[in-house]
Amino acid sequence: MRLSEALRINQLSLAPDSRCKKVQLVCGFTPLHLGTFVEAYIRNRFPGERASIISGLFGDVEGNLKRASREEAQSAVVVMEWSDFDARLGLRSSAGCDSPILADILEHFPATISRLERGISELAGRMPTVVVAPTLPIPPLTHLPLAQSGSLELQLQYQMIGLLSKLCGIGGLKILNESMLASRSAFRDRRDVNLEFHAGFPYTTSHAAALAELCVECLYPPIPKKGLITDLDETLWKGILGEAGPSGVSWSVESRSQAHALYQQLLASLAESGILIAVATKNDAALVREAFARRDMLLKETQVFPIESGWGAKSDSVARILRAWNLSAEDVVMVDDSPMELAEVTAKYPAIEGFRFPHNDAAEAVNFLSMLRARFAKTDVHAEDRLRLESLRNAPSINQTQSSGDPLDFLAGLDAKLTLKFGTAANDNRAFELVNKTSQFNLNGQRYTESEWQAVRNVPGAFLLTANYEDRFGPLGKIAVVVGRCLRNKLYVDIWVMSCRAFSRHIEYHVLERLFEKFGVDCIEFAFRPTERNGPLQEFFTRFFPHGLTAERFELSANVFMALRPTLFHEVTEVSHG
């Protein structure tokens, strides 16, 4: 993004009542163009919303950290340069560089690191924070040739790595990836000496733009995709299975098909993190099973579900996979080597992201894999993520058992255990993730940034309820989240989501029952909004409102609920969390 474009974006008029994202930009230099770019990238990410960038005083990064912790902002970006740790490490210093000065820099560096660590930790405790390590080089301060690293530079870098390693363990804090920054902003193109001398801003506009873009990506990451559907021939492996046979397809350096091995390795990694992997292939099912049985296969058959092998249209295979996963097309990516097959699928499912596997260009394939990984990137991997595949494999058995007799007898025989947790759970990332990715049983479809999620739980009277579930078919982990407020003896529910894996087990009735009991209220008001996909939630409420939900906010009384709720069989345990 050019500076002129950023200025144009920031000058676009917005509605007076538009939402505003307030971001603390903490640095020791004059924010200047960096603040302009951060604002522009936020407004690009959230069209129709404002962005307010709050900065501090020049040359006082420690003071700026303290002031930022007291400000009512939603998130923060902390950009450090070497001069913030010691002014003598900056170009604007004229202190000299004799041995006593260099020794003094090294002596006082650890104390400065400790103070900044405390300041950053305090800030991250109040709001989501992105930290940027120094992006500019240390000025040449010794007699060594420029091509040679010296003890001073290495010791400073070592201590900086130590600081970043400690910060990595703090909840709500993210460290900007220097390698990714280097791919967008070459080291030699980062510093603007004239601006640094005359305005106190050390960056070129191109570096400021790249840095701002990555900071906004860190603060507001996209919601990751949930499933990947892959082809086999010339995609998962090199060769045509029907021609070469299971032993003839390859994925190795020796056969010049290493890109396929890297792809298998990526899919196995995604499966391990809870991403659903399926196969849609025009092949003989017996040959596919034989190929997956090879001992050198990096992606195991146990990590894939379902495998759709047949000769019909790929879109029909995709339809069956989506039903088995109970996912919508917009949650899914498809990879195939055939443009025709991708076109056929995306014509029927325009929301699916289709990508052609570049099997004839190894360098392009490696870039493709990096792009693909980004589609599924997430900050945390939870136990529930790893349980997802097993619960889907069990679904046919559950459905068969459920349909073979009385539904109440089925529920009574589940040996179900429901654990309900009340509290504020400041760092419950699984609850945050569930709220943002659940669509079908979702009270209003509202999505939240990390700072908005934190704010909604900090209002007076706020509570967070989460539900963990298991039965004789296995554990599902954390499957439901409720966020609301209890004010003046009335309960307001603003967020209520439940994983589709937990449907038809009457968990939602237990949740409501416990809310009425715990808060002792006569009615609950729900912040409902119909969406294209929350039909299951609307269907649930028809038990109490047979004529449908006509208002976007509605109330359910305790008397109506108790009169109409079904018989419940779960063993319920309540615990508290912080």
Burial zone of 358 (CB within 10 Å; 0-12 exposed, 13-18 middle, 19+ buried): middle
| Ordered alpha helix ranges (H), 450-498 | 450-456
SS3 content of the chain, % helix, strand, coil (to 5): 45, 20, 35
Q: Do 267 and 300 form a contact (C-beta atoms < 8 A)?
A: no
Q: Do 3 and 192 form a contact (C-beta atoms < 8 A)?
A: no
| Ordered alpha helix ranges (H), 380-534 | 383-403, 407-412, 429-437, 450-456, 507-519
Task: Give all strands (DSSP E) within 445-517, no chain letters.
Answer: 462-471, 474-487, 490-498
- State the pLDDT at residue 316: 95
Q: Do 229 and 324 form a contact (C-beta atoms < 8 A)?
A: no
Q: From CA 519, how far away is CA 522, in angstroms rounded?
A: 9
For 113-128, give one letter per residue: b (16+ CB within 10 A) or e. Answer: beebbebbbebbebbb
Ranges of residues in the chain whose predicted pLDDT is under 70: 381-407, 424-427, 577-578
Q: From CA 176, how far away is CA 365, in angstroms rounded?
A: 25
For residue 368, how many other CB atoms are within 10 A of its CB? 21
Q: Do 388 and 501 form a contact (C-beta atoms < 8 A)?
A: yes
User: Domain 402-576 in CATH: superfamily?
Assistant: Gcn5-related N-acetyltransferase (GNAT) (3.40.630.30)
Q: From CA 263, how far away is CA 25, in angstroms rounded?
A: 39
Same fold, 227-375 and 402-576: no
Q: From CA 120, how far away is CA 115, in angstroms rounded?
A: 9
Q: From CA 264, how far away is CA 224, in angstroms rounded?
A: 20
- State the pLDDT at residue 98: 82
Nearest to 33 by CA among 191, 266, 207: 207
User: Domain 227-375 in CATH: superfamily?
Assistant: HAD superfamily/HAD-like (3.40.50.1000)
Q: From CA 499, how far away is CA 430, in angstroms rounded?
A: 12
- What is the three-class DSSP state of 244? helix
- State the pLDDT at residue 546: 87
CB neighbour list of residue 270: distance below 8 Å, 6 or more residues apart: 228, 277, 373, 376
Angle (deg, nearest 10), helices 362-375 and 258-272? 10
Q: Do 518 and 490 form a contact (C-beta atoms < 8 A)?
A: no
Per-residue pLDDT reduced to its tens digit, 136-157: 998 888 888 888 888 899 999 9
Per-residue pLDDT reduced to its tens digit, 464-514: 999 998 888 788 888 899 999 988 878 999 999 998 877 778 889 999 999
Amino acid 163 reads L
Angle, CA of 98, 103 and 104, to the nearest 5°: 100
Per-residue pLDDT reduced to its tens digit, 329-358: 999 999 999 999 999 999 999 999 999 999
Right CATH for 3-219 from 3.40.50.300, 3.90.1170.50, 3.40.30.10, 3.40.50.1110? 3.40.50.1110
The residue ranges of every structural domain in the chain are: 3-219, 227-375, 402-576
| Ordered alpha helix ranges (H), 58-98 | 61-70, 82-85
Eight-class DSSP state of 137: P
Given the DSSP bridges, would you call strands 474-487 and 490-498 parallel, antiparallel or unpaired? antiparallel
Specify the long-range contacts of residues 59-65, CB closer than 8 Å, at least 24 apart.
59/28, 59/29, 59/87, 60/28, 61/26, 61/27, 61/28, 61/116, 62/115, 62/116, 62/119, 64/26, 64/27, 64/28, 65/26, 65/116, 65/119, 65/120, 65/122, 65/123
Tokens matching residue 180: 């990714």
Task: Please give the torsion angle defined by the CA atoms of residues 558, 534, 497 and 230, in that order, rounded to the nearest 10 degrees.
Answer: 160
Q: From CA 443, how far away is CA 456, in angstroms rounded?
A: 15
